[in-house]
């Protein structure tokens, strides 16, 4: 199921008592994480599942029915999804359309026919075994999808799992090659932009245009940063199964350390804000500047509540991270 930044597991019990685990994975349209990091996160989880001989019962791809067309990011998600699964895994795939309440039945029917009939959309996937399903009744239809997959009795490994099990580096897998090609394209584009900026800089220097020079310098630094980031992401893809596991362990440890430090800072902020609130209460009791103390106390109380919520969020993230490091697959 595509949709967060980390791979997360959620236990679920079906109406007949069958227990399943839902694996929520990030999509390749994240504005904060690049495709290389998203792929590494998914591949590492799947690789460890393969090592433990844990097969997937089914794969659910979610698509909002009100989307008028498949955008660039949606098309990229679909391409990556197919390369991750491989054709042999499509028999275990459900293409589920969501948010039917936001369209009329006629509009939804028309959009579903379009998805089903166009090769650039879902036609080829359906021909190779994928099923289209309407997730139009919230939890009820979601449960029906899960029950259907369980009753099919399929157990499958995905294409990328078998590729990496056979010794392929992530960059050599079908999904990795797709990301690598995009990174190469980005590097070439940034290189061209930097060359053009250098020409503009020479012109600005000749004209003694300081403002233009500073502007070009900032743009050059930004393109250089992005180029180095693309090079670093390319390097990250040059990892086999074992190297990827070590990389992710190191990164997860560093992330937990960062969250721990954030939590300590946030806890200190809460303590300071609570102390300030108590001080304001005492001022109020002494009838010192009553009008302002009431206002200040209101602001301080609101700030404490916000800080506490942030503290709780950090504690929850840290708890999940520690649980993940202790047991990758439940």
User: Does residue 98 fall inside a structural domain?
Assistant: yes
Say yes or no to pLDDT of 310 above 90: no
* Residue 258 or 190, more confident: 190
| Segment 143-157, tens digit of pLDDT | 999 999 999 888 899
> In this structure, are 192 and 285 located in the same domain?
no
> Could you please report the per-residue DSSP string of 178-220?
HHHHHHHHHHHHHHHHHHHHHHHHHHHHHTT-HHHHHHHHHHH
Q: Are residues 12 and 154 in the same domain?
A: yes
Residues 242-250: contacts with CB under 8 Å, at least 24 apart = 244/40, 244/43, 244/44, 244/47, 244/164, 244/170, 245/44, 245/47, 245/48, 247/40, 248/40, 248/41, 248/44, 249/325
Q: pLDDT over 70 for what percent of the chain?
A: 83
Within this chain, do residues 87 and 153 fall inside the same structural domain, yes or no?
A: yes
Q: Which residue has the tokens 């090609």?
A: 181
Whether 153 is covered by a domain: the verdict is: yes
CA separation for the pair 316, 24 (Å, rounded): 17
Q: Do 76 and 48 have their domain in common?
A: yes
Domain count, the chain: 3
Q: What is the pLDDT of residue 272?
A: 80
Instruction: Give residues with Cβ within 8 angstroms of 62, minimum separation 6.
Output: 1, 2, 3, 96, 98, 135
Q: Rounded to the nearest 5 degrees, what angle is found at the Cα of 21, between the Cα atoms of 15 and 27?
A: 120
- Is 66 in the same domain as 215? no
d(C-alpha 33, C-alpha 42), whole Å: 13
pLDDT reported for residue 325: 39
The whole-number average pLDDT for the span 157-179 is 93
Q: Which of 109, 139, 165 is the C-terminal boundary of a domain?
A: 165
Instruction: Name 122's Cβ contacts closer than 8 Å, sequence gap at least 6.
Output: 95, 115, 116, 130, 132
Backbone angles phi, psi at 206, to 5 degrees: -60, -35
CATH number reported for the structural domain that contains residue 25 in this entry: 3.40.50.300
Q: Taking residues 194-213, what's their average pLDDT?
A: 93
Q: Are residues 217 and 288 in the same domain?
A: no
Cα(74)–Cα(62) distance, rounded to whole angstroms?
A: 11
Q: CA 2: distance to chain centroid? A: 8
Question: What pLDDT does residue 298 have?
Answer: 64
Number of Cβ atoms within 10 Å of the Cβ of 116 = 14
- Per-residue pLDDT band for 286 (boundaries 50, 70, 90) equals low
Token pair of 225, please? 């940063």
Mean pLDDT of all residues in 18-44: 86
Q: Tell me what pLDDT residue 2 has.
A: 40
Element (H, E) at 131: strand 131-134
Q: Which one of 149, 165, 181 terminates a domain?
A: 165
Looking at residue 295, its pLDDT comes to 56
- Judge whether 175 lies within some domain: yes
Output 47 or 313, whichever has higher pLDDT.
47
Statement to judge: residues 14 and 132 lie in one domain: yes
Considering only residues 108 and 308, tell me which one the structure prediction assigns the higher pLDDT: 108
Query: Is residue 281 pLDDT above 70, yes or no?
Result: no
Q: Are residues 215 and 257 in the same domain?
A: no
Residue 133 has a pLDDT of: 94
Q: Are 164 and 47 in contact (CB under 8 A)?
A: yes
Rg (C-alpha) for the chain, rounded Å, is 26
pLDDT surpasses 60 at 287: no
Residue 169, class by beta-carbon neighbours within 10 Å (0-12 exposed, 13-18 middle, 19+ buried)? Answer: middle
> Confidence band (pLDDT; 50, 70, 90) for 258?
confident
Q: What is the pLDDT of residues 97-112, one digit of tens each?
A: 999 999 999 999 999 9
153 plus 285 within the same structural domain:
no
pLDDT band for 69, please (50, 70, 90 cuts): low
Length of the chain counted residue by residue? 330
Structural domain span for residue 274: 241-326
For residue 305, is it within any domain?
yes
2 assigned to some structural domain: no
Q: CA 61 to CA 11: how far, in whole Å? A: 19
Tell me, yes or no, whether 129 and 213 share the same domain.
no
pLDDT (0 to 100) of residue 7: 87
Helix (H, G, I), strand (E, B) or coil at 150: helix
Q: 195 and 261 in one domain?
A: no
Predicted pLDDT at 199: 94
In 10 A of CB 290, how many CB atoms?
12
Residue 185 within any structural domain of the chain = yes
Residue 121 belongs to some domain of the structure:
yes
pLDDT at residue 198, rounded to an integer: 94
3-class SS shares of the chain: helix, strand, coil, % to 5: 70, 10, 20
Mean pLDDT value of segment 235-258:
87
The whole-number average pLDDT for the span 184-209 is: 93
The residue-averaged pLDDT of 304-330 equals 59
Q: 17 with 96, same domain? A: yes
Region class of 23: left (phi > 0), else alpha (psi between -120 and 50), else beta: beta
Separation between Cα atoms, residue 28 and residue 67, nearest integer Å = 17
In a domain, 1, yes or no: no
In this structure, of 53-57, 71-75, 84-88, 192-196, the range with the lowest mean pLDDT score is 71-75
Mean pLDDT of the chain: 84
Which pLDDT value is given to residue 254?
Answer: 85
Burial class for 44, CB neighbours closer than 10 Å (0-12, 13-18, 19+): buried
Domain boundary among 120, 136, 165: 165
Instruction: Average the pLDDT over 10-25 and give the result.
Output: 91
């Amino acid at each position: 199921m595509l949709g967060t930044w980390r791979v997360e597991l959620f236990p679920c019990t079906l109406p007949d008592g069958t227990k399943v685990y839902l694996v929520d994975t990030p999509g390749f349209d994240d504005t904060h994480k690049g495709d290389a990091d998203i792929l590494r996160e998914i591949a590492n989880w799947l690789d460890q599942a393969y090592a433990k001989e844990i097969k997937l019962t089914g794969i659910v791809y979610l698509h909002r029915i009100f989307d008028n067309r498949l955008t660039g990011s949606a098309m990229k998600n679909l391409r990556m999804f197919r390369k991750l699964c491989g054709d042999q895994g499509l028999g275990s795939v459900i293409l589920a359309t969501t948010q039917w309440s936001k369209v009329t039945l006629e509009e939804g029917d028309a959009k579903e026919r379009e998805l089903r009939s166009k090769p650039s959309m879902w036609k080829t996937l359906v021909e190779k075994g994928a099923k289209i399903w309407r997730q139009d009744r919230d939890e009820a239809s979601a449960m029906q999808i899960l029950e259907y997959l369980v009753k099919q009795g399929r157990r499958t490994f995905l294409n990328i799992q078998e590729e990496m099990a056979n010794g392929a580096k992530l960059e050599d897998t079908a999904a990795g090659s797709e990301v690598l090609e995009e990174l190469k394209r980005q590097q070439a584009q940034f290189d061209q932009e930097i060359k053009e900026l250098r020409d503009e800089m020479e012109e600005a220097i000749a004209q003694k245009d300081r403002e233009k020079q500073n502007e070009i310098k900032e743009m050059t630094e930004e393109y250089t940063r992005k180029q180095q980031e693309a090079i670093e992401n390319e390097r990250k893809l040059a990892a086999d199964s074992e190297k990827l596991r070590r990389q992710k362990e190191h990164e997860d440890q560093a992330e937990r350390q960062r969250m721990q430090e954030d939590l300590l800072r946030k806890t200190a902020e809460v303590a300071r804000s609570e102390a300030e609130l108590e001080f304001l209460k005492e001022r109020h009791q002494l009838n010192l500047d009553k009008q302002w103390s009431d206002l200040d106390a209101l602001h301080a109380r609101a700030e404490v509540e916000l800080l506490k919520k942030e503290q709780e969020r950090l504690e929850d993230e840290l708890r999940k991270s520690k649980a993940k490091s202790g047991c990758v697959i439940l």
